[in-house]
């Protein structure tokens, strides 16, 4: 008798954003004349930067001739991309990262979801609340939790991000081994200071733990004092893996390109307590289960680092940040407490009511899609998240409708 992985039965029936998409589609069917403005899932709306498109085209042309055609590429990514990332994203900020510590992939969602495979099944995991659901769901699938009761999975240590702690969780008060952190944060938009991140790195070192640092939104940081990478913190090379993505930085949500940094000095232990570097394990996993991002997509990603690409990306992000500032200003003006929107494309709003009710009200009365905070965890109850990914005109229109409704 073929048996299922019963851990899947512990999960909520569908993934948060799939659930929201279903509600929006149902509303659209029932109200075909209504125009909906989507400020829910963080999906970019602007075209790829011109430098990326041109590089993409050139690379596609290379595929049309036998002499320049590329078949399978290296699973870890082409050296041209790994080198430029190491130089521009890390070495230029004093972070000592080598190209061969960078693994190109098709998304930070997949990488943050897959990375848990290289750790023991009985790893004690600390996960933020509220949280990007992928970290939690993939650990549930892997059997690291018990059942779901009262908004929580048994066996997970929840790092609560609340108004009281400024949306930066306290260090764990019991031993944990694998710690997920995401800054600028999805969903709260909060950022972490160098001092706070230093405390986490120290905790990881003292407890032989490992930090999985999701920095997918680093490009939105405006304040120079905020760390853009965990490797700006001394000692992080020994205790942290970092995830980055071109999705929000350069509009690659549909094009797919991201990367994971696993420093050679990053270690974990076997059951006898012997140290092992994580890079060969991740390399083994990656090479076995992944066949590389397509050559044209990697060429398009490389163009993000060209002089023109950098200007265009800055403009793109600047436009989304203009939306973010407007959303925060308007919602604050309407009397709602807001976090984020200054160094992040997400604005986390205390809706002062059930977050699914708030979501339904904005959808049904204003035709605006947001994300209910409760979908990100128990601490998200009462909040909604509004994303800055849309045109300025649509954001203005959405806010006008929201003003009328509220
Ligand atoms: C979000 O809206 O939280 C993100 O777009 C989801 C993702 O990046 O997968």
Are the C-beta atoms of residues 104 and 82 closer than 8 Å to each other? Answer: yes
**Interval 196-210: pLDDT, tens:** 999 999 999 999 999
**Interval 248-306: pLDDT, tens:** 999 999 999 999 999 999 999 999 999 999 999 999 999 999 999 999 999 999 999 99
pLDDT exceeds cutoff 80 at 102: yes
Ligand 1 centre from 275 Cα, in Å? 34
Q: What's the pLDDT at 134?
A: 96
Protein residue with least CA distance to atom 4, ligand 1:
42
Dihedral Cα 290, 277, 153, 259, nearest 10 deg: -40
- Could you give the CA distance from residue 403 to residue 77 in angstroms, rounded to a whole number? 47
- Could you give the CA distance from residue 45 to residue 364 in angstroms, rounded to a whole number? 23
pLDDT exceeds cutoff 90 at 2: yes
Instruction: Indicate the pLDDT class of residue 15, thresholds 50, 70 and 90.
Output: confident
385 within ligand 1 shell (Cβ under 6 A): no
Q: What's the pLDDT at 14?
A: 78
Instruction: Say how many CA atoms lie within 13 Å of 354 toward its Cβ.
Output: 4
Q: What's the pLDDT at 401?
A: 98
109 within ligand 1 shell (Cβ under 6 A): yes
Look-up: residue for tokens 């003292």? Answer: 206
pLDDT exceeds cutoff 80 at 13: no
Would you tell me which CATH number, out of the four given (1.10.3720.10, 3.40.630.30, 2.40.110.10, 3.40.640.10), belongs to the domain 54-303?
3.40.640.10
41 within ligand 1 shell (Cβ under 6 A): yes
**Interval 226-250: pLDDT, tens:** 999 999 999 999 999 999 999 999 9
186 within ligand 1 shell (Cβ under 6 A): yes
- Could you give the CA distance from residue 281 to residue 284 in angstroms, rounded to a whole number? 5
248 within ligand 1 shell (Cβ under 6 A): no
**Interval 303-352: pLDDT, tens:** 999 999 999 999 999 999 999 999 999 999 999 999 999 999 999 999 99
Q: What's the pLDDT at 173?
A: 96
Q: What's the pLDDT at 253?
A: 98
Q: What does the domain layout of the chain look like in residue ranges?
A: 6-45+313-405, 54-303
Decide if domain 6-45+313-405 falls under CATH 3.90.1150.10. Answer: yes
From 114, 134, 186, mutation site for ligand 1 pocket: most ligand atoms within 8 A of C-beta:
186
């Amino acid at each position: 008798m073929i048996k299922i992985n019963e851990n899947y039965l512990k999960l909520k029936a569908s993934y948060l954003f799939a659930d929201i998409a279903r509600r929006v589609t149902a509303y659209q069917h029932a109200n075909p004349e209504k125009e909906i403005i989507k400020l829910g899932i963080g999906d970019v709306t602007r075209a790829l930067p011109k430098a990326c498109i041109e590089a993409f085209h050139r690379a596609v042309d290379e595929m049309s001739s036998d002499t320049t055609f590329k078949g399978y590429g290296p699973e870890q990514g082409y050296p041209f991309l790994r080198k430029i990332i190491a130089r521009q994203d890390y070495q230029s900020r004093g972070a000592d990262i080598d190209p061969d510590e960078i693994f190109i992939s098709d998304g930070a969602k997949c990488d943050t979801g897959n990375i848990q495979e290289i750790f023991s099944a009985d790893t004690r995991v600390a996960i933020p609340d509220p949280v990007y659901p992928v970290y939690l769901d993939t650990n549930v699938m892997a059997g690291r939790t018990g059942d779901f009761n009262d908004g929580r999975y048994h066996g997970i240590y929840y790092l609560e991000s609340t108004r009281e702690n400024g949306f930066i969780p306290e260090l764990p008060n019991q031993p944990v081994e694998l710690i997920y952190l995401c800054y600028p944060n999805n969903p709260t938009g909060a950022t972490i200071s160098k001092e706070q991140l230093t405390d986490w790195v120290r905790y990881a070192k003292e407890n032989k733990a490992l930090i999985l640092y999701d920095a997918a939104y680093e490009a939105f940081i405006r304040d120079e004092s905020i760390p853009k990478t965990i490797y700006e913190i001394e000692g992080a090379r020994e205790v942290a893996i970092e995830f980055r993505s071109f999705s929000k930085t350069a509009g690659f949500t549909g094009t797919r390109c991201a990367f994971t940094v696993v420093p050679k000095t990053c270690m974990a232990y076997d059951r006898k307590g012997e140290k092992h570097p994580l890079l060969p394990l991740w390399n083994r996993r990656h090479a076995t289960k992944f066949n590389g991002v397509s050559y044209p997509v990697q060429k398009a990603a490389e163009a993000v680092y060209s002089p023109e690409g950098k200007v265009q990306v800055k403009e793109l992000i600047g436009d989304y940040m203009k939306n973010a500032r407007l959303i925060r200003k308007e919602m604050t003006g309407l009397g709602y407490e807001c976090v984020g929107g200054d160094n992040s494309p997400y604005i986390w709003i205390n809706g002062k009511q059930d977050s699914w009710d708030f979501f339904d009200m904005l959808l049904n009365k204003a035709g605006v899609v947001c994300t209910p905070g409760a979908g990100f965890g128990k601490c998200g109850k009462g909040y909604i998240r509004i994303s800055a990914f849309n045109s300025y005109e649509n954001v203005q229109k959405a806010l006008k409708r929201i003003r009328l409704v509220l």
